[in-house]
Amino acid sequence: MVVALARRRRRGRLAVVGTAAVLGAVVLLSIGTGPVGVPPGTVARILAAHLLPGEHEATWTAAQDQIVWSFRLPRVLMAVLVGASLAVVGALLQAIVRNPLADPYVLGASSGAALGAVGALALGASVPGLLVSGSAFGGAAVAGVIVYVLASRGGRIESLRLVLAGVALSYLFSAATGWITATADHGRLPGLLFFLLGSISSATWEMLTLPAIALVLGLAYALRRASHLDAAMTGDETAASLGVDMTRLRVEVLVVTAAMTGAVVAVAGGIGFVGMVVPHVCRLLVGASHRVLLPFATVAGALLVVLVDTVARTAASPREIPLGVVTALVGAPFFLWLLRTRPVGAER
Partner 1 sequence: MSGVRVERLSVRLGQTQALADVDLEVRPGEVLGLLGPNGCGKSTLLRTMYGTQRPTTGSVHLDGLDVARSPRREVARRCAVLTQDHATDVELSVMDVVLLGRIPHPASQRSAAGDLRLAADALARTDALHLADRAFPTLSGGERQRVLLARALCQDPRVLLLDEPTNHLDVTHQLDLMRTVGSLGVTCVVALHDLSLAAAHCHRVALLDAGRLVAVGTPEEVLTPERVEATYRVACDLLTHPRTGRPLVALSPRVPSSPIAQEAP
Interface positions with partner 1 (CB under 8 A): 1-2, 4-5, 8, 98, 227-228, 230-231, 233-238, 240-245, 283-284, 287-289, 347-348
- Using CA atoms in the order 53, 58, 60, 65, what is the torsion angle rounded to 10 degrees? 40
CA 41 to chain centre: 29
Q: Which is nearer to partner 1, 61 or 247 (CB)?
A: 247
Q: What is 100-116 written as a DSSP string?
A: TT--TTTTTHHHHHHHH
Q: How far is the CB of 240 from partner 1 (least distance, A)?
A: 5
Q: How far is the CB of 231 from partner 1 (least distance, A)?
A: 5
Q: Which is nearer to partner 1, 122 or 226 (CB)?
A: 226
Q: Which is nearer to partner 1, 236 or 252 (CB)?
A: 236
Residue ranges of E strands in 193-266: none
Q: Which is nearer to partner 1, 231 or 304 (CB)?
A: 231
Q: How far is the CB of 5 from partner 1 (least distance, A)?
A: 5
Cα angle for residues 264, 278, 203 (degrees, 5° grid): 30
Q: Running DSSP on this structure, what letter comes out for residue 33? A: -
Q: How far is the CB of 277 from partner 1 (least distance, A)?
A: 16
Q: Which is nearer to partner 1, 131 or 251 (CB)?
A: 251
Q: Are 149 and 119 in contact (CB under 8 A)?
A: no
Q: How far is the CB of 166 from partner 1 (least distance, A)?
A: 21
Query: Measured between alpha carbons, how far is 127 from 114 in angstroms, rounded to an integer?
Result: 13
Dihedral (CA of 80, 82, 83, 85) sign: positive
